[in-house]
Amino acid sequence: MAVYALPLFAYVLGGLLASVAAQSEYGQCGGIGWTGGITCPTGWVCTDLNPYYSQCLQDTSSGTTTAAPTSTSAPSSTSTSATSTLTGIAASAPTIGPSHDVGKLPALGWNSWNAYGCNINETKVLNAANQFISLGLADAGYEYINIDDCWPLTTRDASTGRIVPDPSKFPNGISGVAEKVHALGFKFGIYSDAGTATCAGFPGSLGNEELDAATFAEWGVDYLKYDNCNVPGNWSDAGNPPGGDWYNSNSAIRYRQMTAAMNETGRPFHFSLCIWGNANVWDWGARVGHSWRMSGDSSASWSYITSIITTNVQHLDSIDFYSHNDMDMMEIGNGALTIQEQRTHFAAWVFLKSPILLGTDLSLLNSTQLDIITNPELLAFHQDATIGTPAAPFTPTAGATTPSPPEFYAGTSSKGTHVFVINTNSTALTKTFDFANVPGLGSGSFVVHDMWTGKDLGTFTTSYSTTVDTHDTAALFIKPA
């Protein structure tokens, strides 16, 4: 009876259930352990956001899937222009920006979710930190060890109001793990939610931002991933935001409140907005945090990789220092991606400057996979301290048409010009580009260098051709001969 549709895996229920009382707009409608209703109001679909949480979201199937949700409950502000003319929540919402002591470059690290879901504990987290050292990931630049959902008890402390770490998972508390992660030389990240509860049903921080930010700072947290589940109806976005600026939408304000609360602690936090591409976040994300999710959850599939590249290339202008479109956590090591697909997964996250948070049990990675994720030349492009912009699609030869997602990208690093070529076809193909078509080059002779192997491929005039395996990506550095 259920069918999957839309990148958010919309879980559409059939007419048989139409007579059952519907959940509210933005209400929960499914997920592991959920025993409530599973139907949504007309025009809304029960959307499977993760195994633990399905939410009634507006049906966007007739329009763009990344449009912000709208509802009939209007926000309290209807003003039209500058902040000073805003009213209601938008007029009084904090405008402080994120710390620029951190987050200049896209984050490099590990997150527990894709590997373990809710089945986390201190040992698994510390294993990942130790493996950063033993597997060479620390030397390659990986820095953050981040815990995702499901770390606390389901209720706050009755007297202090604080979120309480689950002692069966974290017997030394979160401060205990943070201390050990710091002692190993890494930064430590945690997870909360800009709603009343996290996606898996643990306490959310909406309305408790100051207390939670102060608690996280006291525990030594360096990075906060802030999710978007269980948003009360009065916090939903209503049509166009005040002044037409999504920075003043209720969604943005939920995140702005946490930015301000973190600022008050005096501790610099790397702030990751897990807002799934809602509310035109690419327009305002850098005013609130350092990175923002562009979509629903990743999967270890070629279709996810191509769909998130397709989404992201429409919003390359928002990518620069302190400002990163997040293509979601890595799936290398999970599922059945071919090695070529894993190379493309890594290369695309690199050249589009997405955060790269490994999402697997690191002990399962083989040497080929480790070589991919520690490749020094690709990581140097990703972590370039003088050029923050991503590679962008270009037309390889006169008159060539651009498929979706585009296959040819050119970008600049402090070393010079790079070209990345994805073969989206299901057979190996010869790919050709003219140097004159590559932004920053021109006609003439060039030395073409393979970033994967670190070897020069030779000197070429006018154009370069190479065979790219199915779903693989060529990564090239091109310098004048």
User: Shortest approach of ligand GAL to residue 63 CB, angstroms?
Assistant: 22
User: Shortest approach of ligand GAL to residue 326 CB, angstroms?
Assistant: 10
The answer for residues whose C-beta is within 8 angstroms of residue 35's C-beta and 6 or more apart is none
C-beta separation of 292 from 272 below 8 A: yes
Q: Does 331 bind ligand GAL (CB under 6 A)?
A: no
Q: Which of residues 227-266 bind ligand GAL (CB under 6 A)?
A: 227, 229
Of these, 178, 200, 206, 332, which contacts ligand GAL (CB under 6 A)? 200
Q: Which of residues 286-315 bind ligand GAL (CB under 6 A)?
A: 297
- Tokens encoding 403: 């498929």
Axis-axis angle for helices 209-219, 173-183 (nearest 10): 50
User: Shortest approach of ligand GAL to residue 191 CB, angstroms?
Assistant: 6
The amino acid present at 167, given as its one-letter code, is: P
- Tokens encoding 125: 């987290």
Q: Please say if 227 is a catalytic residue.
A: yes
The amino acid present at 95, given as its one-letter code, is: T
Q: What is the DSSP string of 340-366?
A: HHHHHHHHHHHHTT--EEE-S-GGG--
SS3 content of the chain, % helix, strand, coil (to 5): 30, 20, 50
Contact string (CB under 6 A) for ligand GAL, positions 24-63, x = contact: -------------------------xx-x-----------
Contact string (CB under 6 A) for ligand GAL, positions 97-126, x = contact: ----------------x-------------
Of these, 274, 313, 316, 451, which contacts ligand GAL (CB under 6 A)? 274
Q: Which DSSP letter does residue 320 get? A: B
The answer for residues whose C-beta is within 8 angstroms of residue 191's C-beta and 6 or more apart is 146, 147, 148, 149, 151, 198, 224, 225, 226, 227
Q: Which is nearer to ligand GAL, 22 or 199 (CB)?
A: 199
DSSP H or E segment with residue 251: helix 250-265
Closest CA to 230 of 145, 121, 154, 328: 154
Contact string (CB under 6 A) for ligand GAL, positions 131-170, x = contact: -----------------xx---------------------
Q: Which is nearer to ligand GAL, 237 or 472 (CB)?
A: 237
Of these, 107, 199, 305, 379, which contacts ligand GAL (CB under 6 A)? 199
Q: Which is nearer to ligand GAL, 278 or 375 (CB)?
A: 278
The amino acid present at 411, given as its one-letter code, is: G
User: Shortest approach of ligand GAL to residue 151 CB, angstroms?
Assistant: 11
User: Shortest approach of ligand GAL to residue 274 CB, angstroms?
Assistant: 5
Q: Which is nearer to ligand GAL, 146 or 259 (CB)?
A: 146
User: Shortest approach of ligand GAL to residue 303 CB, angstroms?
Assistant: 17
Q: One of 48, 222, 227, 384 is an active-site residue; which one? A: 227
Q: One of 297, 328, 384, 472 is an active-site residue; which one? A: 297
User: Shortest approach of ligand GAL to residue 293 CB, angstroms?
Assistant: 6
Q: Which is nearer to ligand GAL, 9 or 452 (CB)?
A: 9
Q: Which of residues 372-401 bind ligand GAL (CB under 6 A)?
A: none
Q: How far apart are CA 224 and CA 222, in angstroms?
A: 7
Q: Which is nearer to ligand GAL, 50 or 413 (CB)?
A: 50
Q: What is the DSSP string of 161-219?
A: ----B-TTT-TTHHHHHHHHHHHTT-EEEEEEESSSB-TTSSBP-TT-HHHHHHHHHHH
Strands of the sheet containing 53-58, edge to edge, are 3-5, 10-12, 44-50, 53-58, 28-30
Active-site residues, by number, are 227, 297
Query: Interface residues with ligand GAL (CB under 6 A)?
Result: 49-50, 52, 113, 148-149, 198-200, 227, 229, 274, 297
